[in-house]
Chains A and B, each alone.
Chain A
């Protein structure tokens, strides 16, 4: 049975080399992967395996040295800084390990940041922020400052913020790394719910418990794909 879902993000033999003095460090050495609409992909690997580099390129914060990265079918690997900013603003929803809310802004203002840079602030952005805050279970907290919320609540705000621009996919970086195990479960449950509603999720983690919620896990080693594990067929994860 062929999978007819559209590919929304694709690495085609992506290399990323860093020049450190006389040495060239090959952080990524030919990675190819497709993320289709509705996918839930986990990216795992030890530190130094190229996870962070892959995350940065996936998030359009960095460009491949070689190879192509396609977002929604469009090659973004040679785009200008401004154009990459637009891709980030329109197509990607970031969720960070340390929540990364802007401390002096209220929850509502934090939620509106992505739309602000698209010039879309107004009654609609407010309605959308209220809707998404309710969706992640934070109705009535719009006027709070991030510091007045618990870690789990902050991460819910961050997830709502990531959904404000209706992104092609959510890109989560150790989304539960700063949370206790109960809160971690709540956040992962929330991601599961979103996924059930059709949201595409890519999560970078070193935590097996987090990765096993995904459909597939991509294992990185020394900048290359070591293997893919289909979590729906097996719970076993190679160590």
Chain B
């Protein structure tokens, strides 16, 4: 039986090759359907993995509170270059949060833009003032040396830890440990450690923690002061804390903690209901809950999958109709052959099998080429649009399987017509 099926497939291919153009055009319908399904799945999967990884990097048990710089009005930016823009979180807010959520780990983060210099190497960087708990909360690892300690904080030590990229930029050839680096013009820090490469975004937009230097919170306040010049806008800004990272012990606590934090920090829609922190100006704070984003992403992925399934069904339906059309034409053209085969002993089921196999071969060929194209397109998208794509083997199998099934399903009616022709009439057909 296997040998017979092989022969049927081989002879089916031979019949399809009689009409190369027609067969390839029909195949194209399935081909593009399959290719687009694979490509869309790959893009969707890539984008979703990208997002999931980003949110996971933020920490699914974390809640991130960032100071948001208020929108600059025309007046404030033009009035005076020397005015001080004050915004953001205050130190005592971090303390209030720690009181409100006793089981949570609260990490204070200050970001100060400084040029870092080491002999002839100069890098514009962000010097992050923070606390020892920063490392476990962000899930980062020390590659060399050591991380900041409570002792460094209490001593306001002039020590710093470098991100991997920053270390390489400043010390291309030497070991940076115990070397010094100059921040700005007068602050010198001794390097005590280098972080492992993370490749993940830092709080400040467009940078990664790999490009940052880390110093004790206390040293940052003492060295840089609370009013710092923003190098990009050339204005003085008074910001105490840029970010507060709150880590909960389990992800179950995240939701209630997020509610508490929102209640504390975000402006209420109705002021009568209650107590926004009096020293926080409306719109100054942004709360990010990675777990919520993760759930949103999963929900939007489900939605995307539904949309994709609809598009895929439509494109494969169109392909299937093309196959049915061609198979009906083939059956009509080969009426006489059907008559001959019936006269030579073919049962109806043999005729059905023959035309189903031909339809299946036609769409499976389209599916095969479609898989090839479907593997190529995500690659091009990644290369030219810098968009992560993930081709999953099960998606490829799914697309190919559906294409073969489409051929068989849409081949049923033509094959049934072929099998039910009267052999006498079929033999008489010109």
Query: Is B427 among interface residues, defined by CB-CB distance under 8 A?
Result: yes
Q: Quick one: closest B residue to A86, CB to CB?
A: B345
Which of B14, B341, B344 is the most central at the interface, judged by chain A CB atoms within 10 Å of its CB?
B344
CA A165 – CA B4 in complex, angstroms?
Answer: 18
Find the residue from A82, A116, A119 having the highest chain B CB count within 10 A: A116
* Residue numbers in A under 8 Å from B344 (CB-CB): 88-89, 94, 113-114, 117, 161
A90 an interface residue at 8 Å Cβ cutoff? yes
Q: Which of B311-342 contact A (CB under 8 A)?
A: 336-337, 339-342
B295 within 8 A of A: no
| A79 close to B (CB within 8 Å) | no
Q: Is the CB of A61 within 8 A of B347?
A: no
A33 near B: Cβ within 8 Å? no
Task: Give the contact stretch, choosing among A101-109, A191-199, A205-213.
Answer: A101-109
Q: Are A102's CB and B340's CB within 8 A?
A: yes
Contacting pair A82 B424 (CB below 8 A): no
B4 touches A85 (CB 8 A): no
A62 interface hit (Cβ, 8 Å):
yes
In the assembled complex, A81 has its CB within 8 A of some CB on chain B: yes
Inter-chain contact A85/B342, CB cutoff 8 Å:
yes
* Chain B 373-403 per-residue mask, 1 if CB under 8 angstroms from chain A, else 0: 0000000000000000000000000000000
**Does any Cβ of B come within 8 Å of A59's Cβ?**
yes
Chain B residues whose CB sits within 8 angstroms of the CB of A102 once the complex forms: 337, 340-341
**Taking the nearest CB of chain B, how far is it from the CB of A18, in angstroms?**
11
User: Does the CB pair A88–B18 fall under 8 Å?
Assistant: no
Contact in complex: B424, A88 (CB < 8 Å) = no
Q: Name the distance in Å between A106's Cβ and chain B's nearest Cβ.
A: 9
**B20 CB, min distance to chain A CBs, angstroms:** 12
Known A-B contacts A61-B427, A121-B3; A105 and B11 likewise in contact (beta carbons under 8 Å): yes
Give the residues in chain A near B336, CB-CB below 8 Å: 100
CA distance A172 to B423 in the complex (A): 16
Is A40 positioned at the interface, with any CB of B under 8 Å from its CB? no
Nearest A-chain residue to B428, judged by Cβ: A52
Whether A59 contacts B4 in the complex (CB less than 8 A), given A96-B427, A104-B18, A117-B350, comes out as no
In Å, the complex CA distance between A88 and B340 comes to 11
Contacts of B346 in A (CB 8 A): 85, 89, 117
B8 — nearest CB in chain A belongs to which residue? A116
The answer to whether B4 touches A82 (Cβ under 8 A) is: no
Give the nearest-CB partner of A98 in chain B.
Answer: B336
Query: Is B103 interfacial (CB-CB < 8 Å)?
Result: no
Q: Are A61 and B423 closer than 8 Å at their CB atoms?
A: yes
Interface string of A154-178 (1 = CB under 8 A from B): 0000000100010000000000000
User: Which 7 pairs, one residue from A and one from B, show the smallest C-beta to C-beta distance?
Assistant: A89-B345, A117-B345, A85-B347, A114-B344, A100-B340, A61-B423, A82-B347
Residues of B in contact with A (beta carbons under 8 Å apart)? 1, 3-4, 7, 11, 14-15, 18, 336-337, 339-350, 423-424, 427
